Structure 1
Amino acid sequence: MMLSDVMEDYLKAIYQLQRESDERVKTSEIAAELDVTSPTVTSMLEKLEDRELVDREKYHGVTLTEEGETVALEVIRHHRLLEAYLTEHLDYDWAEVHAEADRLEHHISEDFEARVADVLGEPDVDPHGSPIPGADLEPPARPDGAPISEFTEGETVVVEEVADRDADVLAYLADHGVEPGVELEIVEVAPFGMVTARPIAGDDAVSLPESVAHHVRVAQPAGVDA
């Protein structure tokens, strides 16, 4: 099935939004994710429905069909493998790779994908901690973590995943040493969503505004009871 790059972008966006909420994805959510208008989204969803890639209920949003999910997972696998390759072998900064992978993900062959995966040693996650779908294109297991704002003062957590969609957020996190695998002590959680945390291996606390904290998923270290 030949699909345009834009169609694949929509399927990828729907998959990611669907995974975050476990509910039907609303037109307004897709519009915000892709920075397009709601009428534009509606028009595209009609085309995807005609190709049996989405299941659409008027006023209730959409979900991916099995075929639509497979397409989305393939695009996501390409994207995250490319991010890993660009970071590990071409010295890209992790704040740069998302946009570059977005441009390349639609245009690599399955042979190229397999070679990249082999060179990388079939990684489970990309540089931002997001799970990479396997070659079988089964949905990867969802990480156990939660947004850092859901934890309490005094707790120690490990950064599990950071969203890769905002280069400014990634640059801010990198500048403050907040990346997958780093242990943080939560110093303060303000009522309006600001989180202050201190890397266990460092001295300086970092303030994470609500708009940034939302992008940081963490989990308690192994051996710590929830």
Structure 2
Amino acid sequence: MPSPAADDYLKTIYHHTEWQDDRITPSQLAAELGLAPSSVTEMVRKLAAAGLVTHRPYGPVGLTEAGRLRAAAVVRRHRLIETWLVSEFGYSWDEVHEEAEVLEHTISDRLLEGIDALLGRPRFDPHGDAIPDAEGNVTREPFVLLADAEPGHIGRVLRISDRDPEVLRSCDAIGVSVGLEVTVLADRRVRVRHDQVSLPVSAQRAVWLSA
């Protein structure tokens, strides 16, 4: 039952377990999508009937293999478009999410393949999120959330969530970017090269480091 609405559900379920293991609950899904719980319940029922999700009443929602492949295809579109907008059109990384939300449902497979080839088959988008390949596979190394990293931990910034554009702008302002090696200090501070910088509270659960 591919449709923009169904794809948004599948993509949200996929996102939820990319960087942690707990499956999403219907109430979390409703909050993420900004929809009424009753609407989510009905759509989850339809997705389950189509063989795209697994779900039992009041329990969490998971993707079947067919659902995972469909979600990975949508995520691939979204992240390639974000990368394309930054690389070719001068968008900043805090501006691309909403644009990609619209374009992911409209561009053809042929154009998507052209974008992928033009960009040199990138594996990650500007925020560090893995771009699934055409078969739905991703490559991701072991990681730790900044909030869980012990003082003294040294790691590369693997990902900065694009959920809050203000976090992206704050990280950009202090020179924290994907691929940069940092040392975790106490009191929300990290060492970047030879400088100590303070990160906003919201960044603690929005930045992932190599483990």
Fold shared by both chains (TM-score > 0.5): yes
1:24–1:60: 8 Å Cα contact kept in structure 2? no
- Structure 2 CA distance for aligned equivalents of residues 21 and 60 of structure 1: 18
Q: Is the 8 A contact 2:154 2:181 kept in 1?
A: yes
Q: Name the CA distance, whole Å, in 1 between partners of 2:197 and 2:90.
A: 28
Q: Secondary structure at the match of 1:48?
A: helix
Residue 114 of structure 1 and its aligned partner are, at CA, apart by: 0.5
1:1-226 alignment runs, 5 A limit: 1=1, 3-138=2-137, 140-189=138-187, 195-200=188-193, 203-209=195-201, 211-219=202-210
Report runs of 4+ in structure 1 exceeding 6 Å deviation: none
SS of structure 1 residue aligned to 2:185: strand
Q: Is the 8 A contact 1:18 1:63 kept in 2?
A: no
What per-residue deviation string (whole Å, max 9, x for no partner) do you get for residues 68-89 of structure 1? 1111001000011001100011
Structure 2 Cα separation of the partners of residues 101 and 129 of structure 1: 16
* Contact 1:30 1:41 (8 Å CA) reproduced: yes
Deviation at 1:204, TM superposition (A): 4.7
Once the 2 structures are TM-superposed, how far is the Cα of residue 142 of structure 1 from its aligned partner?
A: 3.3
Cα separation, 2, equivalents of 1:203 and 1:167: 24
| Cα distance between partner residues in 2 of 1:85 and 1:33 | 26
SS for the counterpart of 1:19 is: coil
Taking structure 1 as reference, are residues 166 and 4 closer, same or farther at Cα in structure 2, changes over 3 Å only?
same
Partners of 1:18 and 1:149 lie apart in 2 by: 18
Q: In the TM superposition, what whole-angstrom CA distance separates every residue of 1:151-185 from its partner, at most 9, and x where no partner exists?
A: 22233221111112221221121112111111222
C-alpha distance in 2 between matches for 1:160 and 1:204? 19
Gaps in structure 2 of 5+ consecutive residues:
none
1:101 deviates by 0.7
Distance (whole Å) between structure 1 residues aligned to residue 144 and residue 65 of structure 2: 27
> Aligned with 1:205: secondary structure?
strand
TM-score normalized with structure 2 length: 0.93
Q: Is the 8 A contact 2:82 2:100 kept in 1?
A: yes
SS at match of 2:10: helix
SS in 1 for 2:195: coil
Q: Aligned in 2, Cα 1:147/1:23: closer, same or farther, shift over 3 Å?
A: closer
Q: Distance in 1 between matches of 2:54 and 2:199?
A: 41
Q: Cα RMSD between the aligned structures?
A: 1.6
Residue 130 of structure 1, CA deviation: 0.8
Deviates more, 1:15-24 or 1:25-34: 15-24
Shift of 1:47: 1.8
Q: Residues 171 and 199 of structure 2 are in contact (CA less than 8 Å); yes or no, is this contact kept in structure 1?
A: no
Aligned residues: 211
TM-score (norm 1): 0.87
Would you say the 8 A contact 1:155–1:186 is kept in 2? Answer: yes
Work out the percentage of aligned pairs sharing the same amino acid: 35
Cα separation, 2, equivalents of 1:204 and 1:19? 30
